[in-house]
Amino acid sequence: MTPRLTVLGAGVMGTGITALALGHGLPVTLVDIDPAVLEAARASVDRQLRHAQLLGATPDGVAAGELTTTTSVADSAGSLAVVEAVTEHAEQKDKILREVSGLVAPGTVLISNTSGIPIDELAASVERPDDLVGIHFMNPSYLIKMVEVVRGPRTGDRTMESVQALLDRLGRRGIVVHDSPGFVTSRLLHPMINTAARLVGEGVASAEQVDALMAGCLGHPTGPLRTADLIGLDNLADSLVAMSERLGDDGYRPCDHLLDLVGAGRLGRKSGAGFYEYDGTTT
Amino acid sequence: MTTDNVIDRDPVDSDVVAGKITAYLEAKAKAPVAHDEDLADSGLLTSMVAMEIVVFLESTFGIAVVGGDLKMRNFRTVDDMVALVARLRGDGENAGDA
Ligand SMILES: NC(=O)c1ccc[n+]([C@@H]2O[C@H](COP(=O)([O-])OP(=O)(O)OC[C@H]3O[C@@H](n4cnc5c(N)ncnc54)[C@H](O)[C@@H]3O)[C@@H](O)[C@H]2O)c1
């Protein structure tokens, strides 16, 4: 019997991680509270899996794993590992981690994909803190081969071994870092994006100009504001708030321009517009 | 005769297909796009845009691009895409050696 991965949260990251796992032959149970989200997620996972195939990012000769969608967290029982990818709100993560931790067998690796909430803070929600670890998958997870692995102070050695086995299976390479708000990648990337948004808000440059300068002068692959639209501006603002509170650094507070866009429902690619307009074929 | 109809219809059809694809790409590129231009070389065909093009072709021409057709080489030029659309619509045999 092929072991199954459970993914909690069928948003941008949950669907991308699901596509990654399916493409590497792992069956996935994808859980969300919202049935409408799950319905859309099926199409989104299919598109992302085909995107991976288009770019040669899936292994040859491996049959895609089977996708099951459900609103019941109880269906995570019996899985190889659980990836938590729900909204970046500490209370929501606490609630679902508490629930899932009571359902799975001891030794089942619990993975949080949080952008910036310390793993040891989340460990307070689970029955066995040694089973919990952070794997910060990048977006799109099925294209980016490197992940940031966050070892909390209480994460067990056995968990780290299971993480390595899982990443091998998924064809990903992890860099293991210590626990801290925002770890390495969000701590660096998020304030940079925030500043890029602030520059646009101040009228110093347009989004296109900011991205063109960062790409053309500094070698950034797409520019910070295209990246922001890919991440989702609501998630970006939530992550910045989570980091600013935990770092005690107001520089991490989302700037007005970012909050204005979120308030106007311009969430990036997933809503069809953010710093840029998209044509409805992107989500 | 059927053959005549097909031959009459075909160039018109693939012109229409090429026109729609070109308009879509030019709106994205904000620049003219030639039918034989290598879109990867000109920087338009990024990893994200490649899939947007697939979804555009599917919804515009009622086709499904799956399996072995999901290859970047089918999307490098407007001509490549016109050929793919023709083949997946089942009129590929009339597309000559384009
Ligand atoms: N977006 C990115 O680029 C990115 C990158 C790395 C990490 N992350 C992190 O991944 C996590 C998910 O982010 P996202 O961008 O996918 O968010 P999202 O808003 O796109 O999706 C979150 C999903 O979680 C669901 N959800 C909320 N509470 C739930 C619950 N109790 N049970 C089941 N489902 C629930 C929501 O319905 C929604 O569909 C966040 O912690 C985020 O910080 C995001």
pLDDT digits (tens, 9 = 90+) for B7-29: 344 555 889 999 999 999 999 88
Amino acid at A276: Y
Which of A54, A56, A281 is opposite residue B56, by nearest beta carbon? A281
Q: Which two tokens stand for residue A182?
A: 């925002």
Q: According to the model, what pLDDT value does residue B13 have?
A: 83
Cα(A71) to centroid(ligand 1), Å: 15
Parallel/antiparallel/unpaired status of strands A28-31 and A67-70: parallel
Residues A266, A152 share a domain: no
Instruction: B24-30: list long-range contacts, CB under 8 Å, 24+ apart.
Output: B24/B53, B24/B56, B24/B60, B25/B53, B25/B78
Which of B46, B54, B59 is opposite residue A54, by nearest beta carbon? B54
User: Which residue among A178, A210, A227 closes a domain?
Assistant: A178
Residues of A in contact with B72 (CB under 8 A): 54-56
Q: How many domains does chain A have?
A: 2
CA A130 to chain centre: 22
Q: How does the average pLDDT of chain A come out, rounded?
A: 96
> Is the minimum CB–CB distance between A54 and chain B shorter than 8 Å?
yes
Q: According to the model, what pLDDT value does residue B7 have?
A: 39
Query: A107 Cβ partners below 8 Å, 6+ apart?
Result: A131, A158
Nearest CA in chain A to B58: A281
Average pLDDT rounded to a whole number, residues A219-244: 97
CATH number, position A130 = 3.40.50.720
Q: Please report whether residue A97 resides in a domain.
A: yes
Q: Do A50 and B48 touch (CB under 8 A)?
A: no
Closest ligand 1 atom to A115 CA: 43
With cut-offs at 50, 70 and 90, classify the pLDDT of residue A132: very high
Closest ligand 1 atom to A15 CA: 16
Per-residue pLDDT tens over the stretch A50-95 = 999 999 999 999 999 999 999 999 999 999 999 999 999 999 999 9
Q: According to the model, what pLDDT value does residue B3 have?
A: 44
Q: Is B61 helix (H, G, I), strand (E, B) or coil?
A: helix
Domain B14-92 class in CATH? mainly alpha
Best residue in B30, B52, B56 to probe A by mutation, most A CBs within 10 Å?
B52
Cβ–ligand 1 distance for A31 under 6 Å, the answer yes
Per-residue pLDDT tens over the stretch A198-226 = 999 999 999 999 999 999 999 999 999 99
Write phi, then psi, for B3 (nearest 5 degrees). Answer: -60, -45
Look at residue B2 and tell me whether its pLDDT is greater than 70. Answer: no
Would you name the residues of A annotated as active-site residues?
136
Cα(A12) to centroid(ligand 1), Å: 7
Q: Please report whether residue A133 resides in a domain.
A: yes
Residues A215, A198 share a domain: yes
Residue span of the structural domain in which A101 resides? 5-178
Which of B46, B51, B59 is opposite residue A54, by nearest beta carbon? B51
Q: Is the ipTM of this complex over 0.95?
A: no
Residues A164, A106 share a domain: yes
Q: According to the model, what pLDDT value does residue B95 have?
A: 41
Q: According to the model, what pLDDT value does residue A280 have?
A: 62
